[in-house]
Amino acid sequence: MQATPFYYRLSMAMFKPLYQLKLQINKTLPNEIEQRFGKVYPAITTQKPMIWCHAVSLGETNTAEPILRDLLAQGYALWVTNTTHTGYNRVEQLFAPEIAASKVYHSFVPVDSKAVIDKFLAHVQPVAALFIETELWGTTLAELNNRQIATILVNGRLSEKSFKGYQKAAKLSQSMMENLSLIIAQDSDSAKRFRQLGATSDKIRIASSLKWSSKTNPLMLSRAEKLRESWNLSDRAVILAASTHEGEELAILDSFLTVKAQYANRHPLLIIVPRHPERFDDVAKLINSKNLPVIRRSQDGEPAKNESVYLADSMGELGVWYALSNIAIVGGSLVNIGGHNPIEAAIVGKPIIMGQYTQSCQLIVDQLKQSGALVQVSGSDELTQQLAHWLANPKAAQTAGHVGQILAEKYQDATKQQLAMIMQCIADNKEQLIKSEIQKIDHEPVASDGRKFIDDL
């Protein structure tokens, strides 16, 4: 085990009570504080080997879903942790039947304190731990390594900005790299940065991003078709603003109102899906401020032909809105968030618009952009121009969507690639554990009657 630096352990010890105080002040979910501090966890009833998977938030949870379902099919039970409420709620939604059947267990992630991690690991007893994309914790990785638990960074991504941040804590970063069993990087640039932080080449593999594994959901497609019919959308151009953040809705609304006036013959409808549910009411007020009626999903509203903005204030239905749309604007990219996954739009054949802030999914954006499926815009004027272009040329929009769909289907084996690497790492770790036990037996002192002292095995 590579120990975490003393300065890190000290800072976490000082941070722990402050973090607990913050949680007590803020709004939390039932048992959240207890779970984060190792007090209470769901009882385990399964006899299946357990794999712990940590997915920070909503995006990482969606990314991990296909590979988690494959691990369930392989005969493992899962313990899934999240950092954010949106990620936690998404797990509850995605795996409700599996949670009820005690195949999936769920909690908030434990804080990175040895005492808490010890309690968590003693309860869960995982055979492997998966961390999705980038969130790593020094003490957690050290304790996993100390217990000889296979520890895998899945779909690893390290942007230049994140890399520079990790470099500032070089000793901590090196300890984390050494305590990982396997790093599955999304691209060669990330792999190079992981090596520069201290990961040895034998621990690093490169595979297609799991974000490419988004699949068409027949249920979502069916619901979209029913809405298309009941809302009489056959002659309307539907523009989706997906996973939007503060500052994006205003820019999108302004551009939309401009093109709505120019292309009234297409009766444009804008569907806005804010990324975070706590912003639903704020976005409703923003729509009202434009002298527009607010048609809300939560109130079972249906947009009439003379109503042009719809607020999809619900969770877990983004696939429906992508399927229903003719043009998709993917949020988190018009403001400096890093951009959300555009594959969900591509897999259902929608032309995509994103802003300039796409560092969280840059390789995917570049590939879709090169194929002609995605256009990046800088500012409201360019957004308006691109919307106008595709409204004026619906066949061009359909062609862009089609080439993106072909590209997304090409990379559908990403889950299979990374799953094979995970399974091999778990198998190798198991073999190493067996060898270690044999070596312990071989080195035990021999009793006078020739027997081994194996009382502790």
Q: State the catalytic residues.
A: 60
CB 426 within 8 A of CB 128: yes
CA distance 242 to 274: 7
Kindly list the strands in the beta sheet with 327-330, ordered across the sheet, starting from the edge strand earlier in the chain: 295-296, 309-311, 269-274, 238-244, 327-330, 352-354, 374-376
CB 235 within 8 A of CB 273: no
Find tokens 């043009």 and name the residue: 327
**Residue partners of 97: CB distance under 8 A and separation at least 6:** none
In this structure, how many other beta carbons lie within 10 angstroms of the beta carbon of residue 47?
7
Per-state percent for the chain, helix, strand, coil, to nearest 5 = 55, 15, 35
Residue 385 φ then ψ, to 5°: -60, -40
**Residue partners of 89: CB distance under 8 A and separation at least 6:** 315
Distances (CA, A) of 192 to 89, 135, 206, 211, 417: 34, 18, 10, 20, 20
The crossing angle, in degrees rounded to 10, of helices 380-392 and 248-262 is 40
CB 112 within 8 A of CB 139: yes
CA distance 219 to 225: 10
| Beta bridge partners of residue 130, listed in sequence order | 53, 152
For 299-319, give the DSSP string. Answer: GT----TT--EEE---SS-HH
Distances (CA, A) of 430 to 1, 90, 121, 177, 338: 17, 32, 18, 20, 38
List alpha helices for 180-247, DSSP H: 188-196, 218-230
CA distance 390 to 401: 11
